[in-house]
Amino acid sequence: MKQSKQILKRIIDLAMIVLLPLLMAEILTGQEIHEWLGTGMLALFLAHHFLNLGWWKSFLKGKYTPSRLAAAALAVYGIYAFIVQHMTDYLFLQTHFVMFDETKTAAVYFAETAAMMSLFAAAAYYINKLLCRKGGK
């Protein structure tokens, strides 16, 4: 059971990673597809947090190693940035938000987005590895 839950978590995380650049390219997908993808992303977001309730329950408990502290700080900063950047205004169409450069082809856009996501994923992985080595897991 535990292994199947872990597999489901990874599938949901991967689906969210794939959906993110598609959502950012509304000009390529069109409004209707963008809205359906957004609905799917919301469902995945809720499922992700439901499957990771244990993380939230233990958030303030236990020893804070450098790795755990970095993960907690990132989560808190993500919530802060979401609020400060008025992301709800973008989500509820009160402010227009476009990240797509219309002079680039869809292939170039998705390649650049995948490269940036890979860069940040690799940076997070190696920073976590470094913190685990310095302060234990």
Query: 104 by DSSP, 3-state: which?
Result: coil
Mean pLDDT score, 22-51: 89
pLDDT of residue 58: 77
The pTM of the whole model exceeds 0.85: no
Q: H helices of 25-86, where?
A: 26-29, 31-51, 53-57, 66-84
pLDDT of residue 43: 95
Alpha carbons 126 and 124: distance in angstroms, whole number: 6
Mean pLDDT score, 22-35: 85
Mean pLDDT (the chain) is 78
pLDDT of residue 8: 93
pLDDT of residue 111: 75
Higher pLDDT, 23 or 78: 23
pLDDT of residue 109: 73
What b/e string do you get for 82-92 counting C-beta neighbours within 10 Å, with b at 16 or more?
eeeeeeeeeee
How many whole angstroms from its chain centre is CA 128? 17
